Structure 1
Amino acid sequence: MVADLWDPDNGWKLNEFQDSLPQHMIDNIRSVLVDPMAGEDDQSIWNLSSNGLFTASSAFKAISPQHQSSLPPSFWQRIWKLHVPERVRVFMWMASKGRLTTNSIRKYRHITQDDKCPECPDVSESNLHYLRDCVLAKAVWLKIIPAQEHSHFFSLGYENWLQENISNEDHGDWTGDWASYFSLITWYLWKYRNDSVFKGKKLSPSSLHNYVMAKAREWSKAWSEGRLDANAHDQHARTEALISWKAPAAGWGKMNTDGAAQGSPRIASAGGALRDSQGTWLGGFCSKMGNGTAIMAELWGILQGLQLAWKKGIRFLILESDSQLALDLIKNRTDAAHLHATILGLIRRLLAQGWVVQLAHTYREGNRVADWLSKHSLVYPFGTYELDEPPGDLKKIMQEDLLGVSFPRQVLQRSSSDN
Structure 2
Amino acid sequence: MLDCLDIHTMLAAAWNTDFSPLVRSYWKAGVINFIWKIWDCRNQVTFNEASFHPKLILGFLKVVFKEMDSNFPKLGRSHNSWQDYLVLRRIGVAMRAFAPPLMIEVHWWPPAGQWIKVNTDGSALGKPGSIAAGGVFRDNWGAVRGCYHYKGGSGFTFEAELFAIMHAVRIANFRGWHWLWIEADSSYVVQLLHSRSLNVPWRFLPLWKQTLNWLSNFRLQISHIFREGNSVADIMANHARIEGWWPFAIEDIKIAVSLDMATHSRVRLKN
Which of the five TM-score ranges fits, normalised by the shorter chain? 0.5 to 0.7
The Cα shift of 1:249 comes to: 0.8
Equivalent residues in 2 for 1:327-342 (5 A)?
327-332=190-195, 334=197, 339=202, 341-342=205-206
* Equivalent position of 1:283 in the other structure: 146
Instruction: Determine what percentage of the aligned residue pairs are the same residue.
Output: 28
Equivalent residues in 2 for 1:394-413 (5 A)?
394-410=253-269
* Equivalent position of 1:60 in the other structure: none
Residues 193, 222 of structure 2: 8 Å contact kept: no
Could you tell me which of 262, 268, 271 is aligned with 2:131? 268
1:347 alignment partner, SS class: helix
Residues 145, 249 of structure 2: 8 Å contact kept: no
Q: Using the alignment, how far apart are the partners of 2:269 and 2:199 within structure 1? A: 37
Q: Using the alignment, how far apart are the partners of 1:250 and 1:411 within structure 2? A: 34
TM-score after normalising by structure 2: 0.59
Q: Using the alignment, how far apart are the partners of 1:389 and 1:247 within structure 2? A: 17
Q: Using the alignment, how far apart are the partners of 2:197 and 2:169 within structure 1? A: 20
More strand by share: 2
Query: Larger Rg: 1 or 2?
Result: 2
Relative to structure 1, the CA distance from residue 253 to residue 409 in structure 2 (aligned partners, 3 Å threshold; closer, same or farther) is same
Please say if 1:348 is aligned against 2:209.
no
Could you tell me which of 217, 221, 244 is aligned with 1:358? 221
Residues 334, 341 of structure 1: 8 Å contact kept: no
Q: Using the alignment, how far apart are the partners of 1:231 and 1:258 within structure 2? A: 33
Please say if 1:375 is aligned against 2:238.
yes
* Equivalent position of 2:248 in the other structure: 389
Q: Using the alignment, how far apart are the partners of 1:338 and 1:265 within structure 2? A: 14
* Equivalent position of 1:309 in the other structure: 172
Report the number of matched residues. Answer: 189
Q: Using the alignment, how far apart are the partners of 1:335 and 1:313 within structure 2? A: 25
1:248 alignment partner, SS class: coil
Q: Using the alignment, how far apart are the partners of 1:245 and 1:361 within structure 2? A: 11
Relative to structure 1, the CA distance from residue 333 to residue 231 in structure 2 (aligned partners, 3 Å threshold; closer, same or farther) is farther
Could you tell me which of 188, 191, 198 is aligned with 1:325? 188
RMSD: 3.7
TM-score after normalising by structure 1: 0.40
Q: Using the alignment, how far apart are the partners of 2:116 and 2:213 within structure 1? A: 20
Over residues 295-348 of structure 1, what are the superposed CA-to-partner deviations in whole Å (9 max), with x where a residue is unaligned? 111011001111112222212111100000122133336457854544432332
Equivalent residues in 2 for 1:100-115 (5 A)?
none
Return 5+ residue gaps in structure 1 as ranges. 1-190, 200-214, 223-227, 413-419
- Higher relative contact order, structure no. (Cα contacts within 8 Å, ≥ 6 residues apart): 2
Relative to structure 1, the CA distance from residue 256 to residue 337 in structure 2 (aligned partners, 3 Å threshold; closer, same or farther) is closer
The Cα shift of 1:408 comes to: 1.1
Relative to structure 1, the CA distance from residue 265 to residue 292 in structure 2 (aligned partners, 3 Å threshold; closer, same or farther) is closer
Residues 178, 218 of structure 2: 8 Å contact kept: yes
